[in-house]
């Protein structure tokens, strides 16, 4: 099952990944290690990716649902 290629399947299209930013501080978001979420490089908050859609809600809004 191990593959040594660089093209690991990514949950988001590159176009989208490149433009999205943290809604709190507008910093870049990067994939978490398991690529199930996006982590802000500045505030370190992790935004989940659900069914290919990044949930970019500030922490206080995510806790309400
Ligand atoms: Zn942030």
Distance in Å, CA 8 to ligand 1 centroid: 25
Distance in Å, CA 39 to ligand 1 centroid: 8
Distance from the Cα of residue 38 to its chain's centroid: 2
Write the CB contacts of 53 (distance below 8 Å, at least 6 apart in sequence).
none
| % of residues, the chain, pLDDT over 90 | 71
pTM, rounded to two decimals: 0.78
d(CA 36, CA 46): 10
Distance from the Cα of residue 58 to its chain's centroid: 13
d(CA 44, CA 19): 18
pLDDT at 6: 60
pLDDT at 59: 79
Distance in Å, CA 65 to ligand 1 centroid: 20
Distance in Å, CA 7 to ligand 1 centroid: 27
List of the chain residues with pLDDT < 70: 1-8, 64-65
- Measured over the CA atoms of residue 31, residue 14, residue 58 and residue 48, the dihedral's sign is negative
Question: What domains can be seen in the chain, in order of their start residue?
Answer: 14-55 (2.20.25)
């Amino acid at each position: 099952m191990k593959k040594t290629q660089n093209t690991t399947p990514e949950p988001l299209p590159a176009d989208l990944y490149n433009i999205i930013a943290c809604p709190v501080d507008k910093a870049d978001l990067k994939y978490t290690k398991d690529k199930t979420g996006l982590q802000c490089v500045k505030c370190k908050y992790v935004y989940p990716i659900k069914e290919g859609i990044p949930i970019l809600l500030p922490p206080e809004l995510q806790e309400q649902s």
